[in-house]
Structure 1
């Protein structure tokens, strides 16, 4: 998963940079379509990781809202263990480095766009200097 996200992030940077090149509209439409698919490839694990984290955080609330008061003592002990474990939300990571979340997706896309704007500024400045 780490390799997939890394390749997807690098691909988005290269795709945005290739839009600076002069090419036909068919080529540009293909590049935009490919970039959208690569962004979707990064988005899906991030969305699902965020959803899992959210659901695991809601587990404590759900346990408290169940009808536990009239239950036997053994059931209450099990619920206590469940609540203690559920205090730590589940966070999916890749290689224990990058968390799979929507925040990660947004930061990857921001980085790709930032590199695109830097390349565009350098390209525009070089074109003005050569003119």
Structure 2
């Protein structure tokens, strides 16, 4: 995106870099959005089991549900290479860092 500030607007190169930046932004956002959705849905598993008609289940099914709920106490989280968890918080950190780097590059380029 920094290169967008250095080229002439309305040129083919400008639109190329603009579309490239938007596509990268959307790819990162989609991964983080669905990672966040997986975490939110997995947090609701215990509530969903409790709200089902578990009273009328057989004893073996009730034991299986207890085991299932105990396993569901820790939410499922998607990670990227086991380094960071994909969530909307991660997306916002990426955007803040990107903006900081862009501002730094822009300031350095304007000082020259």
SS in 2 for 1:19: helix
TM norm structure 2 = 0.89
**Any residues of structure 2 matched to 1:17-96 within 5 Å, and which?**
17-26=2-11, 27-96=13-82
Structure 1 residue ranges (4+ consecutive) displaced by more than 4 angstroms after TM superposition: none
Query: How many residues are aligned here?
Result: 111
TM norm structure 1 = 0.77
Alpha carbons 2:7, 2:14 under 8 Å: kept = no
- Quote how far apart the aligned CAs of 1:35 are: 0.3
Q: Which has the higher contact order (CA 8 A, sep 6+)?
A: 1
Q: CA RMSD in A?
A: 1.4
Structure 2 spans left out of the alignment, 5+ residues: none
Q: Distance in 2 between matches of 1:74 and 1:82?
A: 12
